[in-house]
Structure 1
Amino acid sequence: MALTGGVDYVVADLATTLCGKRQVPLPFFFSHTQNAHILMDAGVGAVVTSTPELFTALPKLQIIDPVDIPDGPLSFPDYLGGADRVIYTSGSSGRPKGVIIGDPQLSASLTALALVINAGPQDRHLSILPLAQLLEQICGIFLPILAGAETVMRFEATKALFGAPIAALTDAFEEVQPSTSLLAPGLLGRWVQDLKAASRHAPASLRFVAVGGASSSPALIYKAASVRIPVHEGYGLSECCAVVAMNRPGQNRAGSVGQVLDGLEVEIINNEITVTGPTIMAGYLNGTPAPERWYTGDLGHFDGDRLVIDGRKYALLVTPAGRNISPEWIESRVNADPRIVSSALALRQDGTLILIVVAVAPITGPEIVACLSDVPAYTQPDGLILTDPSHPDLVFAAGTPNRAVAHQLVNTADALPLAPFQTKESLAS
């Protein structure tokens, strides 16, 4: 499916699912090269799209107009069907990998999440994140349908995820008065700032706002609470059907991603988060079936029964002095500033630590350094590269940085020097 979102997307998704057809969403935020790779890798024979001109170079591909929407309410059976969907992850190499998610994985995930969110017919979900993402498909399509709830979509608000003004998102929450929603940390930070600037609070109708896709600093969670956003951080990945752990209402703790979902088992092996349970994918398309225990590539630990994420295993930076730095540790603090959409900490080939900041409003080096006042001196960047959301392929839709692009950028672009926050006197004390 090559649809940006809206009701057309939902009907096409449900029609494909209930007919037992394999579904392959084509994210509108992927490049043409990435989507061309998906079409070939998945062997797609037909595409549902409102922009057929984008596919004229592929004559063997059947083009289907979006499904006509009937008047009146739509009703669907409880059973989601037996088809699977192939969710292509962005991939650090730029070549997306197809994650096969079937009815068993979806059913297990929906059952567990329904208990966490306590979804019911009284709910109204405001769908902001792109529907091509598995997590929004679960939270914005299937959970509301199974709970008898309503979903409202506002694509103008979705555009804020890619650097458009945040006012459309703020207005959407005020107009729709939803009870639930799902946001990326960058969007959450900008919404918090917009509310603070206007001395306003989030709508009183909200009872559960999930945030995920990238790490959120405790400072951002506290700021959200100060404007009455009931935000709950979670953790997951497409290979485990989007969600592994989530903070529960009444048990929210900033700095953790909450308790593991019912039915899943998480074990930390050599500091890496591993998962077993019914939500693990069937496998990668054109690859071998998934093993019983999935090694996530994420580092973490438990604080009691709550999971804490320490960063990506393969993103770990090792300085010339032999110090290990999880870049997410620094990035989450910087990203708490609402002017910043995303950031990436990287090492130049000469061992210099450089911070890339993707901003939607002016911000200075001293302001960025001030965000890092509580981290050790060895983790603080020596240089700064400022850019904006239009930089090609630097930021994935979830707000996480493309580290391959970031590595190339820090080794080719000039960086502004950053004065360290700590003085020699304070370091010596």
Structure 2
Amino acid sequence: MDNLLDAYAPGVPVLTDGVTALDADQVRARVAQVCAALAARRWPDAPVAILADNGPGWLVADLATQQLGVTLVPLPLFFTPAQWHHVLMESGCTALLCALPEQAAALGFGAQSLLTGPLGLYEAATRAGGAALGATQKITFTSGTTSSPKGVCLDADQQWQLAAALQHGLAGLQLHRHLCLLPFSVLLENIAGPYTALLSGATVICPPLAETGLSGASQFDPQRCLAAIARYQAQSIIVLPQMLQALVAVTADHDPRLASLRFVAVGGARMPPRLLQAARARGIPVFEGYGLSECCSVVALNLPGSERVGSVGRPLPHRPVRIAADGEIEVGGRAGHYLGQAPAAAVGTWLATGDLGHLDADGFLHIDGRKKDVLITGFGRNVSPEWPESALLGSGAFAAVVVVGDAMPYLAALVVPVSAALTPEQLAAAVALANRDLPDYAQVRRWRVVPPWGPATGLSTANGRPRRAAIARHYATDIAALYDNLEHIA
């Protein structure tokens, strides 16, 4: 870490939340404090979880765990308490970094803090089991296509290798101020944002998420975001497609609040080409990329001087990409492995992504679709439709349900009530009941009643499973109506 911070000139802030700014010496001192607290734990070698808003304290904890060789397990703020418990049990965490003692206690960690500062360090009374972690520095749990998220194990070298590739690709822009808009529990921000900025000697600006306009998994205030960009004179940011759409909708061409931006990366979900064109027309220097958690996030990225609209860019130097015979994208290089599974060999392995795509003659990667039915919302959350569908069916009000929402800001559903006598109010109550057990990114916001479908209609299989592609075609107008309140990009 010392060599990392040597890139900073005296007095240049390394981390700031808009209130407190830390230079290189102050970051070193705070990392040393966290290291001392982690080393003094009852089980100093066990994984430690972190549940916290964005801020310098989060990144200090991240650097401290790397310095000690301790595994860090980020807990996304948008997970439900049940999902937090699942992550903690699966990873075998014996300590938690968080700001609130009562929050730590609710998750089973003692009220005595081992650390002073914005985040306390709390320990569990007993040590549960857990898979052997080896060199794992971070376990990132995806948003979960079901209620039980999967953990991807990554070592420090994998993360910094990606950051170095991005730093090299962006060096010509001379970026000095990166504003963090996404939660640090999301790899796309954690690595592509602060890590890349640290390698560049740039200031990492990391105010609380509420100041930058993001709350939960899918609530975004573009006016707050624009105010933060202007206040901090941000030169680079990372956004999700739905965030970009909201920014485009509330800005005029060459809005002065965006004047400081030199590079805006967008990823996490499919990017409508018209949206990118509209953003460019506003003067937003946006570049689309593609990645996976198993690859530490970014795999390919359009860059200034090396871009092709409609593609997700060329693969980064350390991530060779090939297309399988069936059109599936496969990624080379050393990938992360799922918690509980053995690491893949470093050489000669290819990760099957589940995405379909092609490489053009100039090496730009194009995404054509997904092999499976997993939806990726406009905010980058992965959701298997069967999850909210089962919750809706479990309400007892619906005989059949198909959830939609790929690349959209929220999920919606086509529903077949169990009885035509059910009123709209009763259906609304049933949806509300189902949503109570779902995190916000998996909740159904709107729905539309449609006639029953069966094998004779061609819309379901013989055993009653919906034929999703056929239903999407048949009900295209109804599905479009579920999103007719959105801002449309001209």
TM-score (norm 2): 0.63
CA distance in 2 between counterparts of 1:36 and 1:166 reads 32
Q: After TM superposition, give the deviation of residue 39 of structure 1 in Å.
A: 0.5
> Residue 274 of structure 1 is aligned with which of 330, 350, 353?
330
Q: Match of 1:315, as an amino acid?
A: D
Which residue of 1 is the match for residue 227 of structure 2? 171
Q: Which runs of 5+ in 2 are unaligned?
A: 1-49, 119-134, 390-397, 411-427, 452-474, 480-490
Counterpart pick for 2:343 among 289, 305, 309? 289
1:301 to 358, 379, 386: 358
Unaligned runs of 5+ in 1: 70-81, 317-326, 361-384, 397-401, 422-429
Mark the CA change 1:356 to 1:344 in structure 2 (over 3 Å): closer, same or farther.
farther
User: Does residue 132 in structure 1 map to residue 185 in structure 2?
Assistant: yes
Amino acid at match of 2:449: D
Does 1:8 find its partner at 2:57?
A: yes
CA contact (8 A) 1:284 1:290 kept: no
Given the superposition, is the C-alpha separation of residues 186 and 308 from structure 1 closer, same or farther in structure 2, using an over 3 Å criterion? same
Paired residue for 1:89, among 142, 162, 184? 142
Q: Which amino acid aligns with 1:112?
A: A
1:24 counterpart SS class: strand
Deviation at 1:127, TM superposition (A): 0.3
Instruction: Report the CA distance between 1:252 and its aligned residue.
Output: 2.7
Measured against aligned partners, the alpha-carbon deviations of 1:324-360 in whole angstroms (never above 9, x if no partner) come to xxx77xx8xxx6xxxx999999799999987559669
In structure 1, what residue type is equivalent to 2:317? D
One-letter code aligned to 2:292: L
Residues 354-388 of structure 1: CA distance to partner in whole angstroms, max 9, x if unpaired? 7559669xxxxxxxxxxxxxxxxxxxxxxxx9x99
Bigger shift: 140-149 or 342-351? 342-351
Quote how far apart the aligned CAs of 1:153 are. 2.0
In the alignment, structure 1 residue 30 sits paired with structure 2 residue 87? no
Query: Which residue of the partner structure matches residue 170 of structure 2?
Result: 117
Kindly report the root-mean-square deviation, in angstroms, between the aligned alpha carbons of the 2 structures: 3.8
Structure 1's 341 and 271: CA in aligned 2 closer, same or farther, altered over 3 A?
closer
1:255 aligns with 2:313: no
1:313 and 1:172, CA in 2 relative to 1: closer, same or farther beyond 3 A?
same
Measure how far apart 1:288 and its partner are.
2.6
Offset of 1:57 from its aligned partner? 4.4
Question: More deviation in 33-42 or 173-182?
Answer: 173-182
Structure 2 counterpart SS, 1:174: helix
User: Which protein is bigger by CA-based radius of gyration?
Assistant: 2
2-side partners of 1:343 and 1:46: how far apart? 28
Structure 1 pair 217–202 and aligned structure 2 pair: CA distance change class (3 A): farther
In 2 relative to 1, CA 64–10 (structure 1 residues): closer, same or farther, beyond 3 Å?
Answer: farther
Give 2:288's aligned residue: 233
Q: Aligned pair in 2 of structure 1 residues 254, 109: CA closer, same or farther (>3 Å)?
A: same
SS of structure 2 residue aligned to 1:91:
coil
| Residue identity in the other structure for 2:91 | A
- 1:83-121 per-residue CA deviation (whole Å, 9 max, x = no partner) reads 611101122112111111102211221221112222787
Letter in 2 for 1:50: A
1:52 Cα offset (Å) = 2.4
Partner residue of 2:97? Answer: 48
Work out whether 1:190 is the aligned partner of 2:237.
no
Counterparts of 1:199 and 1:116, CA distance in 2: 25
**Are the equivalent residues in 1 in contact too, given 2:302–2:312 (CA < 8 A)?**
yes
SS state of the match for residue 236, structure 1?
Answer: strand
Aligned residues of 1:16 and 1:23 also touching (Cα < 8 A): yes
Q: How many residues align?
A: 352
| Cα distance in structure 2, aligned partners of 1:300 and 1:99 | 23
User: Does the CA-based 8 Å contact 2:143-2:382 persist in structure 1?
Assistant: no
Cα displacement (A) at 1:56: 1.8
Sequence identity (%) = 32
TM-score with structure 1 length normalisation?
A: 0.72
